[in-house]
Structure 1
Amino acid sequence: MTDSYGDDVARITRLRSEYSWAYDSADAHAFTQLFTPDGVCALGDWGVFRTREEIEAGIAAQTVAPDPLPATVHSVTTPRITVDGDTATGSWYVTVYHQPREGDTQPVRFVGRYFDRYRRLPEGWRFESVRLDPYWFVGY
C-alpha cells in the first residue's frame, strides 16, 4: 500500500515538528535521527553540519554547552510542501523565542525561513537537508 499525497504531507509536517521539539528539549541525539545519514543542517551563523555525527555534535554544543539559554521555543508555520515520489521539498516560516536572561527584555530572538529537502527512507521521511535563512534576529 502506498501513502497518499496527504499522508506524506502529514508525515513531513510531523518531522518538522519533531525537529523543533528535539532542539527545544536539548535532545541532540533525537534531533540527529531526523536526518538521513548523509544529511546537511545549514544554520547560517550557527553552523553548517554534514552527516549525523557532525549534526549531533553541533546541536549538542548549541543546546547544552557552555551557556545555553534558559528555554527555547521554535514556532514553525505556513508550510509549503511539494512531494515527488520518495523525495520532497518544503519551506516554513520560523520564529524563535527564548526565555530572557536576567536584565534581558527581548523574548523574540529570531524570525526566518527554513528550506528543506526530504527523502523517504525505510524508517520514514527524513531531512536530506535543512537550510535556515534569517530575516532578522536580536541578542545573539
Structure 2
Amino acid sequence: MSSTYVEETAVKLAVVEALYRFAAGIDLRDKDLLASALTEDAVSDFRPAAAKAGFEYPVLEGRDNIVTALSNALSQLDTTHSVSNPRITVDGDTAHLEALVEAQHVPRNDRSRHYLMKNRYNVELVRRGEIWLIQRNTVDNVWLTGDPSVLSGV
C-alpha cells in the first residue's frame, strides 16, 4: 500500500469526521461539539428534505444560528443520526462530501411515536489547519416513514 493512498485515506476520514461531529453534536445535545463541525459563516439548507416532509424550514446561516436553531427545534426529541456511504472529493483545502444520513426522531414524552428519514447530505467543507469544517450543507430526502408531526413537537 503506497504512502499516497494512506495519506489520501487519512484526509478523507478527516473530512467525514466533520459530518460525524455535526451528527453527534445533535444527538448528544452537545452544542460545543455541533459548533466544532461548522465554519463561522456556515449555511445549512434543510429545505429540500423539509418540503418532502410537508413543512417549511428556513435556510440557516452562521454557526451560532445553526447551533441554536437545531438545538431548539430538536429539544423535545431524542435523535439518532447514522452516516453511511460517504463519497469524498478533495481539492487542496476544500472538499465535497456526499453521504446518506438516517435520522430517527422520537419524542421524549411519547416513545410510541417516531419519525425516520433517510436523507442525502451534500456538504462543502474547508480545511482550517488540521481540521475540516462544514461550510455548506444541503439536505434532501430519499424516503421517510412514521409520524411527521413528531418534528413539530405535536
TM range (shorter): 0.7 to 0.9
State the AA in 1 paired with 2:21: E
Q: Aligned residue for 2:30?
A: 27
Q: Does 1:10 align with 2:13?
A: yes
State the AA in 2 paired with 1:28: K
Q: Aligned residue for 1:49?
A: 60
Q: Whose helix proportion is higher, 1 or 2?
A: 2
Give 5+ residue unaligned stretches, structure 1: none
Contact 1:95-1:108 within 8 A present in 2 as well: no
Deviation, 1:136, is 2.6
Q: Aligned residue for 1:38?
A: 41
Which of 123, 135, 141 is 1:134 aligned to? Answer: 141
How many pairs were matched up? 132
Q: Following superposition, which runs of at least 4 residues in structure 1 exceed 4 angstroms of deviation? A: none
Q: Does 1:118 align with 2:125?
A: yes
Q: Summarize the alignment of residues 99-110 of structure 1 with structure 2, pairs less than 5 Å apart.
A: 99=106, 101-104=110-113, 107=114, 109-110=116-117
Q: Quick one: structure 1 residues 5 and 60, their matched pair in 2 at CA, closer, same or farther if it must change by over 3 Å?
A: same
Deviation, 1:58, is 0.8
Q: Aligned residue for 1:81?
A: 88
For 1:80 and 1:123, how far apart are their aligned partners in 2? 20
Deviation, 1:40, is 0.6
Could you tell me the TM-score, scaled by structure 1's length?
A: 0.83
User: RMSD of aligned C-alpha atoms?
Assistant: 1.9
Deviation, 1:139, is 1.7
Q: Aligned residue for 1:62?
A: 73
Could you tell me the TM-score, scaled by structure 2's length?
A: 0.76
**SS of residue in 1 equivalent to 2:74:** helix
Deviation, 1:112, is 1.4
Deviation, 1:13, is 1.9
Contact 1:82-1:88 within 8 A present in 2 as well: yes
**SS of residue in 2 equivalent to 1:4:** helix
Deviation, 1:33, is 2.4
